[in-house]
Structure 1
Amino acid sequence: MSLEIALLRHDLRVGDNPLLCGPLSDHLLCVHVLDRAWLEPLAGPGVPRIGPARLKFLWESLIELRGELLRRGSDLLVRIGDPVEVVADLALHHGATRLRVRREAGSDETETVCTLGRRLRGRCAVVQVDGGMLFEEASLPIPVAALPATFSAFRRRVERTGQVPRARPSPLTLPPWPRGAARGLPALHALCARAAGWQADPRGAFRFVGGEKAGLARLDHYLWQSDGVARYKQTRNGLLGADFSTRLSPWLALGCLSARQVHDAVRTWEAEHGASASSGWVIFELLWRDYFHWAGRQEGRALFGARSLPVPGTAFRAWAAGETGTPFIDAAMRELAATGWLSNRARQNVASYLVRELGVDWRLGAAWFEHCLIDFDAASNWGNWRYVAGVGRDPRDRGFHVLRQAERYDARGDYVAHWLPELASLPPGAGRHRPWRVAPRRFPRPLAVPAPREDGEWPPAGPEA
Structure 2
Amino acid sequence: MSTGLIWFRNDLRTQDHEGIAKATDNHDRVIAVYCFDPRHYEELEIGFRKTGKFRTKFLIETIHQLRNNLQKMHIPLFVFQNKPEVKIAELVKEHQIDTIYFQKEWTDEEKEVERNLKESIPDVELIDHYQQFLFHPDDIPYDSFDELPKVFTEFRKKCEKKTEVRELLSNSKIEEFEFVNDTKIPSLKDLDFNEFTTDERSAFPFHGGEDEALKRVEQYFFKQRNLETYKETRNGLIGTDYSSKLSAWLANGSISPRQIYFKVKQYEKEIKSNQSTYWLIFELIWRDFFKYISLKHGNKIFQLEGIRGKSHDWNDDNETFRKWINGETKEDFVNANMLEIAHTGFMSNRGRQNVNSYLAKELKHDWRKGAACFESLLIDYDVHSNWGNWMYNSGVGNDPRDRKFNIKSQADRYDPDNDYQDLWLK
Q: Under a length normalisation based on structure 2, what TM-score does the superposition of the two structures give?
A: 0.92
- Shift in Å, 1:140: 2.4
- Shift in Å, 1:357: 1.1
The equivalent of 2:129 in structure 1 is 129
The equivalent of 1:7 in structure 2 is 7
With over 3 angstroms needed to count, the CA separation of the structure-2 counterparts of 1:189 and 1:374, relative to structure 1, is: closer
Matches of 1:85 and 1:5 in 2, distance apart? 15
The equivalent of 2:34 in structure 1 is 32
Alpha-carbon deviations, 1:168-211, whole Å to 9, x = none?
24x3634656745x44324557425846x222210124412000
- Shift in Å, 1:69: 0.7
The equivalent of 2:309 in structure 1 is none
Greater shift, 97-106 or 227-236, is seen at 97-106
- Shift in Å, 1:90: 2.1
Contact 1:75 1:184 (8 Å CA) reproduced: no
- Shift in Å, 1:145: 3.2
1:100 is paired with a residue whose SS is strand
With over 3 angstroms needed to count, the CA separation of the structure-2 counterparts of 1:222 and 1:105, relative to structure 1, is: farther
With over 3 angstroms needed to count, the CA separation of the structure-2 counterparts of 1:298 and 1:176, relative to structure 1, is: farther
Q: Which of residues 33, 40, 43 in structure 2 aligns to 1:41?
A: 43
Greater shift, 87-96 or 398-407, is seen at 87-96
Q: Under a length normalisation based on structure 1, what TM-score does the superposition of the two structures give?
A: 0.85
Matches of 1:378 and 1:134 in 2, distance apart? 17
1:387 aligns with 2:392: yes
Matches of 1:314 and 1:250 in 2, distance apart? 31
The equivalent of 2:69 in structure 1 is 68
With over 3 angstroms needed to count, the CA separation of the structure-2 counterparts of 1:249 and 1:88, relative to structure 1, is: same
Q: Tell me the number of residue pairs that the alignment of Structure 1 and Structure 2 aligns.
A: 415
Alpha-carbon deviations, 1:135-162, whole Å to 9, x = none?
2222223232321111111101101101
- Shift in Å, 1:355: 0.7
- Shift in Å, 1:312: 6.4
- Shift in Å, 1:85: 1.9
Contact 1:362 1:389 (8 Å CA) reproduced: yes
2:329 is paired with a residue whose SS is coil
Which residue identity does 1:376 align to in structure 2?
Answer: Y
- Shift in Å, 1:386: 0.8
Contact 1:76 1:183 (8 Å CA) reproduced: no
- Shift in Å, 1:329: 0.5
Matches of 1:4 and 1:310 in 2, distance apart? 51
The equivalent of 1:213 in structure 2 is 211
The equivalent of 1:337 in structure 2 is 342
Which residue identity does 1:185 align to in structure 2?
Answer: K
Matches of 1:419 and 1:262 in 2, distance apart? 32
The equivalent of 1:450 in structure 2 is none
1:415 aligns with 2:420: yes
Contact 1:226 1:243 (8 Å CA) reproduced: no
Matches of 2:70 and 2:343 in 1, distance apart? 33
Contact 1:144 1:294 (8 Å CA) reproduced: yes
The equivalent of 1:184 in structure 2 is 183
Alpha-carbon deviations, 1:241-260, whole Å to 9, x = none?
22110000000001011000
Matches of 2:178 and 2:39 in 1, distance apart? 29
Matches of 2:26 and 2:176 in 1, distance apart? 11
Please tell me the root mean square deviation across aligned C-alpha atoms, in Å. Answer: 2.1
Contact 2:204 2:245 (8 Å CA) reproduced: no
- Shift in Å, 1:130: 1.1
Which residue identity does 2:156 align to in structure 1?
Answer: R
Matches of 2:383 and 2:315 in 1, distance apart? 20
Matches of 1:311 and 1:403 in 2, distance apart? 24
2:201 is paired with a residue whose SS is helix
With over 3 angstroms needed to count, the CA separation of the structure-2 counterparts of 1:56 and 1:189, relative to structure 1, is: closer
Alpha-carbon deviations, 1:363-419, whole Å to 9, x = none?
000000000000000000001001112112445412201111001111111110111
1:89 is paired with a residue whose SS is helix
After superposition, where does 1:315-464 map in structure 2 within 5 Å?
Answer: 315-421=320-426
Which residue identity does 2:10 align to in structure 1?
Answer: H
The equivalent of 1:446 in structure 2 is none
The structure 1 segments of at least 4 consecutive aligned residues displaced by more than 6 Å after TM superposition are 309-312
The equivalent of 1:433 in structure 2 is none
Alpha-carbon deviations, 1:326-374, whole Å to 9, x = none?
1100100111111111110000000001111111100000000000000
Q: Which of residues 288, 291, 300 in structure 1 aligns to 2:286?
A: 288
Percent identity, please.
36
With over 3 angstroms needed to count, the CA separation of the structure-2 counterparts of 1:341 and 1:78, relative to structure 1, is: same
2:10 is paired with a residue whose SS is coil
